[in-house]
Amino acid sequence: MEQTFLMTLWFILVAVLWIGFLALEGFGYGVGMFLKTFARNERERRAMINSIGPHWDGNEVWLLTAGGATFAAFPEWYATMFSGMYIALVLVLVCLIIRICALEWRKMIRTERWRNTWDTLHCIVSWIVSILFGVAFANLVAGMKIEVGNYSSGEFVAVAPDAVTWEALADNHHYLTGGFFSLLTPFTILGGLVTLSLFFSHGALWLSIKTAGELQLRSINLAKRTTVISTAITAVWALWAYFVYSSQVLAIIPLAICALLLIATVVATWANREILAFGLHFAAIAGAVSTIFAMMVPYVMKSSINEAYSLTIAQASVTAPTQTIMTIAALIFVPIVLGYTVWAYSVFRKRIDAGQIPEEPVGLEPKKIREFEVR
């Protein structure tokens, strides 16, 4: 089966959904990473959390939609990735649940210990998730220990590479046989540092456009240092990925655009043009994701064992009628989601001044909760 237009369209749409999630929620993870160390008092900490408060749950929808689109459009990709990366994905899920609790429950109890506990957990899981996403995408670029076979006899039996045909795939599937630790290599770990550093810079730039006063000045100064570091780390990883693992010459186009955007971000940041810098960095993350997906073509999951075991876009796709129905639904609902996102950020565009946040702690008194005196 040849790769069709709809298959290509949905591969691009999955990439767009990941761009939406990483470029929007990336600053949320960045703010979480330095929540404990950057804020000097409770007012500043609340200002940092309030800056992402109206948006984080909407941003997570992009992640859910990316996963749902992968499941619906490329079920073989979804099955291979989610079964092979099961431990890592469960860890991400647990971290995301903890982050939700930290954001929603922090204000519930009026004690410093309660707030510090959730802030610490928020910080830890933000670091973990940021690294894991980079490791995952780096594996998609480099390839994993994937084989084609089946478990009909209770043990995995691989098909010979030269016997991987459409007929063979009727009774056999792609499996990640290398285990969890096969996903950790110097290249993939560096990929984790790429997303970590980019999110950190994204968070600093976000605070520079969302806060006012001293907190805003310190945020732009933090962004000046971190954008240089993240750009350097990204450059090393991207060149390594392109010259060693990419088979697509045209991937140099989004890679070059991403490089120019990151350099422009550094220049704009040092010129104290924080709004322009954030927009450029947003576009740079989009360029980075586009580069990753361009390097993957024509595969959705590469095999480092033998190229014949790689899962192609065509092999992973559903039937054409299903893709047609999905395309009609996407044409209706994606513009609605985009419109709502733009509206939400427009409504909450005002800067937050930590000095205007009341000093009185929020939440309920623990004693009243224990005595059932809450009204």
**Tens of pLDDT, residues 63-118:** 999 999 999 999 999 999 888 888 888 999 999 999 999 999 888 888 889 999 99
- Check residue 282 and give its pLDDT: 96
Give per-residue burial for 186-220: e unless 16+ CB within 10 Å, then b: ebbebbbbbbbbbbbbbbbbbbbbbbeeebbebbb
Per the CB < 8 A criterion, the answer to whether 67 and 310 are in contact is no
Q: For 175, left (φ over 0), alpha (ψ -120 to 50), or beta?
A: beta
- Residues above pLDDT 70, as percent of the chain: 98
**How many angstroms separate the CA atoms of 42 and 35, rounded?**
11
Order of strands across the sheet with 146-150? 157-158, 146-150, 173-176
pTM to 2 decimal places:
0.92
Residue pLDDT, tens place only, 201-219: 999 999 999 999 999 999 9
The pLDDT of 214-240, averaged and rounded, is 95
Of 242, 139, 250, 121, nearest to 195 by C-alpha is: 139
- β partners of residue 211: 352
pLDDT digit string, tens, across residues 287-307:
999 999 999 999 999 999 989
pLDDT, residue 35, reads 93
Chain position carrying tokens 């649940």: 97
Asked whether the predicted pLDDT for residue 348 surpasses 90, the reply is: no
Token pair listed for 105: 């429950």
φ and ψ at residue 108, rounded to 5 degrees: -80, -35
C-alpha 95/C-alpha 46 separation (Å) is: 21
- pLDDT higher than 70, residue 371: no
Name every residue whose Cβ is closer than 8 Å to that of residue 143 and which is 6 or more positions away in sequence. Answer: 245, 301, 302, 303, 304, 310
Q: What is the 3 state secondary structure string of the chain?
A: CCCCHHHHHHHHHHHHHHHHHHHHHHHHHHHHHCHHHHCCCHHHHHHHHHHHCCCHHHHHHHHHHHHHHHHHHCHHHHHHHHHHCHHHHHHHHHHHHHHHHHHHHCCCECCHHHHHHHHHHHHHHHHHHHHHHHHHHHHHHHCECEEEEECCCCCCEECCHHHCCCCHHHCCEEEECCCHHHHCCHHHHHHHHHHHHHHHHHHHHHHHHHEECHHHHHHHHHHHHHHHHHHHHHHHHHHHHHHHHCCCHHHHHHHHHHHHHHHHHHHHHHCCCHHHHHHHHHHHHHHHHHHHHHHHCCEEECECCCHHHCEEHHHHCCCHHHHHHHHHHHHHHHHHHHHHHHHHHHHCCCCEEHHHCCCCCCCECHHHHHCCCCC
Identify which of 221, 190, 207, 189 has the alpha carbon closest to the alpha carbon of residue 32.
Answer: 207
Distances (CA, A) of 69 to 63, 96, 185, 327: 10, 20, 28, 11
Nearest-angstrom CA–CA distance, 232 and 201? 12
What is the DSSP pairing of strand 299-301 with strand 352-353? unpaired
Q: 370 falls in which pLDDT band (50, 70, 90)?
A: low
The share of the chain scoring above pLDDT 90, in percent, equals 62
Mean pLDDT confidence for 8-24: 94
